[in-house]
Amino acid sequence: MSLVGLKGMSRERLVGLLDAAQSFLDASGKPRTPAWAQNLLADRAVGLLFFEPSTRTRVSFELAAKRLGATVINLNAYESSLKKGETVLDTVLNLEAMGMDVFVVRHGQRGIPAELDAGVRAPIVNAGDGTGEHPTQGLLDTLVLRRRLSDLGGAELAGRTITYIGDIKHSRVVRSGANALRTLGATVRLAGPDALLPEDASGWGGAEIVRGGRAEALRGADAVIVLRIQRERFPAGQLDEGGYGQGWRITREALEAEAKPDVWVLHPGPVIRGEEMEGEVADGDRSLILEQVSAGVAVRQAVLLDVLKVGVSWRQAMSRDA
């Protein structure tokens, strides 16, 4: 089974993935691969096909696969036969014919992972498709928030408010994360300047749009997920750049004046310091940014095992854990 998006994912699969990922984190939230898991993918080959820039997502998929014992092949899209005009589907079919078992795909065009999923037998993992979805990012954000905000340490985020702030309209991070957070019962709000908000939130998993300014956006939030302005996805001039900085940048002063004192601050990266967020907030004691990055490795381990149907009884595994 592939992982193309979180929209429509059953609660059972979602919680199963989060619980599995949790078993790849230590008590402080750092990645760790227990001895029982180190060879689970020893006979599998994982293909990483990244047609867009990536640091965290690509490296953490590679690390996740290698820590489970897999062979990893990085296809440099810019040096392959794709440059000669071969389609992505043909490329993947050829790699599959060599015996590769799973493909992790990032592409600037929405829908490519779903197309590949329809055309090849191997599972496809969407690592971000244009303004479509970014399911592993949505999972890792949900994992971190569940760890920090769930009173029971269990699955529930009911009664919690998570607010995404910034470039909502072009964000695949929101489209995935909002669905997962809503499934766990959280209230999800979307805020940003009008030019960067969608007309309606129907594609955003039951999230609510908060109109108004930064103060309204921050009010009452248990966590805010700040997003980069994705200029590569919209024409220049669509945004009043000066206005963004004045009105929306997340600063220490704004958090102190407008947010709950115990608000958590997240960002999927890359953080453009001084633009959507001040560096001192990114580095501050309410920031979970590096904890997100750590969780990313664990989530990608859980996802690779899930799509490759490597059955592990997590409870059992944890009980014989070293």
66-102 b/e with 16+ CB inside 10 Å = b? ebbebbbbebebeeeebeeeeebeebbeebbeeebbb
Judged by CB, which is closer to ligand NCD: 74, or 230?
Answer: 230
Least distance CB 93 / ligand NCD (angstroms): 26
Judged by CB, which is closer to ligand NCD: 45, or 190?
Answer: 190
Residue nearest to ligand NCD (CB): 228
User: 170-199: which residues touch ligand NCD (CB under 6 A)?
Assistant: 172-173
Least distance CB 40 / ligand NCD (angstroms): 25
The residue within the footprint of ligand NCD, chosen from 230, 233, 286, 314 (CB under 6 A), is 230
Each residue 209-228 as x (binds ligand NCD by CB under 6 A) or -, in order, gives -------------------x
> Does position 137 bind ligand NCD by CB under 6 A?
yes
Judged by CB, which is closer to ligand NCD: 123, or 132?
Answer: 132
**Helices within 68-213 (DSSP H only):** 88-97, 112-119, 135-149, 172-183
Binding footprint of ligand NCD, residue count (CB under 6 A): 11
Judged by CB, which is closer to ligand NCD: 103, or 120?
Answer: 103
Give the C-alpha separation, 12 to 281, whole Å: 35
Coil, strand or helix at 42: coil
Each residue 30-69 as x (binds ligand NCD by CB under 6 A) or -, in order, gives --------------------------xx------------
213-224 b/e with 16+ CB inside 10 Å = b? ebeebbeebbbb
**Cross-strand bridge partners of residue 265:** 224, 287
Least distance CB 222 / ligand NCD (angstroms): 22
Give the C-alpha separation, 68 to 61, whole Å: 11
Coil, strand or helix at 103: strand
In which residue are the tokens 């998929």 written? 61
Coil, strand or helix at 36: helix
Least distance CB 154 / ligand NCD (angstroms): 27
> Does position 113 bind ligand NCD by CB under 6 A?
no
CB 119 within 8 A of CB 89: yes
Sheet holding 102-107, edge to edge: 71-76, 45-50, 102-107, 124-129
> Does position 134 bind ligand NCD by CB under 6 A?
yes
Binding site for ligand NCD (CB under 6 A): 56-57, 128, 134, 137, 172-173, 228, 230, 268-269
